[in-house]
Structure 1
Amino acid sequence: MCTDRARVRTYAELRAEGLTRRALTAAVSSGSLLHLRRGVYAEAGTCGPVAAAARHGGALACVTAARHLGLWILDSTDVVHVWMHGSGHGYAHEGCACRSHLDDLPAGRVFDHPGVAIVLRQILRCLGVEEFFVAVESALRKRLLTAADRRWLHDHINDPGRAALTAARSDADSGLESLVRWRLRHHMLAVRTQMRVVSGGRVDLLIGDRLIVEADGAPFHEGESQRHRDLRRDARAAVWGFVTLRFDYALIVHDWPTVEAAILAYVDRGLHLGR
């Protein structure tokens, strides 16, 4: 993310603030301003994605903007999503891997970042309801999505998006937990996140009364010492009648059928129910 005061500015804005041509040249030479393209400059501390979006002619959008806000997202590509408002013109630039987003919202200052509600709608339209649900739960967890934002979203998205918005909660600690709960929704299971269980401490997901599902995301679950702690905790939970299934990021995101089959096998045998 950019530093707090970093902004993208136009030549006209800088001149209107009293910066002379000589001072502008000196600022670029000193590195306090970065010349992005003709008439567009970035202040020191502006991060790479924001600078790339400005070179392209707009501001961060969609999952790139969500990542900039600190939201947990599924998309891991290097594509820079750029908000071009309604009729922005894109500029090809060196290393350009940009995807333009156009919308019917009132155009403001072209380099201003969209609000979180707009970002979430862009994710829904661009990448679908699953990515949207995960990002919404992350925004709720971080308290970035207000009641007014939720009302605006409800009025400006499609029916699948509204269903996901209604189902979203703020208790998931990671996008993997959100993703597991979303993908299990059709099985009508009681799935709770970040629950405390006897002897096991706080667990990622609890299905029914005693089936624990742990979603291990890198880098927090790397190394033998962490693996030992995880296994010890699983064993202590087992003493109290809990059963633990543990999956990593790759399994949950890229091999969901295996994860789903494992969970449902335990459920079919009633291992998620209390005695």
Structure 2
Amino acid sequence: MDLQTFLARRGGAARRSDLLRAGFLRPTLEAAVDAGRLHRPQRGVYAMRDADDGVLAAFRYNGRLTCVSAARFYSLWALHPPQEVHLSCGNGVPKSGVIDHAPCMHAPDPALPVAGLADVLLHAVRCLPELEALALVQSATGRGQISADFLRSKLVGNRNGRARAVLDLLIPRADSVLEILAHTHFVRAGLKVRMHVHLPGVGEVDCLVEECLVVELDGSTHFEPRQVKKDQRRNNAGMLGGHLTLRYYYDDVVHRPAAMVEQVQAVLRLRALGRFAPE
């Protein structure tokens, strides 16, 4: 493996000790710096010009990326990009623009300055707003990367009550971040909701609310012409089966959840009044 490929797989930067251990010679590193292919952002670290900012920050502060700053390295759902760098440095010294988490207790990433998945999620449920933490944990547990029971075993005591409450919102399966968020909003509004229900003639729907109202949560692929036609035909089939359908998009679920819930409740009230039946 050449030097550029080695660094690219590590976020574009690495410590000199790791490079030497991998078999690269010091003259090779210096030649790359002289030629402008690499630079030394700090002592003992070599980096490509397009190195990951988070990785560089981890080296700068001698820490490991964690919480939402580590989400992309584990392909976790993150609702919002972090405004500050979340690191586990372990020394408690304040750092401008850095949220310093507790020391890591589990094996870290072997190649990157990134905390292990368990520490990333434990830091997240103690740090982030509830729904942001839930998105990260749902994506990891839903894919079988880690179990909710394992995380819960690490969150004992009264001080971790808020963190355990995030785990209580998890569902067995969520195919997108919209599903876990919508499920949470509907349940908290007192609505009965079942996820991934198969309806005759329609197929699997995202949510079935109060056994009569289908709620579909559409991502970007649903704007493709072929998918639009398929969705409209599914809506028609659902109507023939006695099920009304509402569709919501990312902005609705993430940024306007109260309006989404109010519409669902309004349709249910109209249905109860017989407004969708002939007079």
Which interval holds the TM-score relative to the shorter structure?
0.7 to 0.9
- How large is the Cα RMSD of the aligned pairs? 3.4
**1:243 aligned partner:** 244
Q: Where does structure 1 lack aligned partners over 5 or more consecutive residues?
A: 93-97
Query: CA shift at 1:82, angstroms?
Result: 3.3
**Cα distance in 1, alignment partners of residues 106 and 237 from structure 2:** 57
**Cα distance in 2, alignment partners of residues 180 and 254 from structure 1:** 11
**2:141 aligned partner:** 140
CA 1:51 to 1:254, structure 2 compared with 1: closer, same or farther past 3 Å?
A: same
Q: What TM-score results when the alignment is normalised by the length of structure 1? A: 0.78
**Cα distance in 1, alignment partners of residues 128 and 155 from structure 2:** 18
Higher alpha-carbon Rg: 2
**Cα distance in 1, alignment partners of residues 209 and 7 from structure 2:** 41
Aligned ranges 1:53-72 → 2 under 5 Å: 53-55=58-60, 57-72=62-77
Amino acid corresponding to residue 217 of structure 2 in structure 1:
A
Query: CA shift at 1:176, angstroms?
Result: 0.8
User: Bigger relative contact order, structure 1 or 2, given CA contacts below 8 A and separation 6+?
Assistant: 1
Instruction: List per-residue Cα deviations over 1:81-134 (Å, max 9, x = no partner).
Output: 331322176888xxxxx5332314459889632122221222223322221122
SS in 2 for 1:220: helix
Whether the 8 Å CA contact 1:154–1:162 is kept in 2: the answer is: yes
Whether the 8 Å CA contact 2:92–2:100 is kept in 1: the answer is: no
- Do structure 1's residue 164 and structure 2's residue 169 form an aligned pair? no
**Cα distance in 2, alignment partners of residues 149 and 40 from structure 1:** 35
CA 1:54 to 1:222, structure 2 compared with 1: closer, same or farther past 3 Å?
A: farther
SS in 2 for 1:154: coil
Query: CA shift at 1:142, angstroms?
Result: 1.5
Q: What TM-score results when the alignment is normalised by the length of structure 2? A: 0.77
**2:235 aligned partner:** 234
Aligned ranges 1:172-187 → 2 under 5 Å: 172-187=174-189
Whether the 8 Å CA contact 1:173–1:194 is kept in 2: the answer is: no
**Cα distance in 2, alignment partners of residues 262 and 132 from structure 1:** 26
Q: Where does structure 2 lack aligned partners over 5 or more consecutive residues?
A: 1-5, 273-279
**2:78 aligned partner:** 73
Q: How many residues align?
A: 263
CA 1:108 to 1:26, structure 2 compared with 1: closer, same or farther past 3 Å?
A: farther
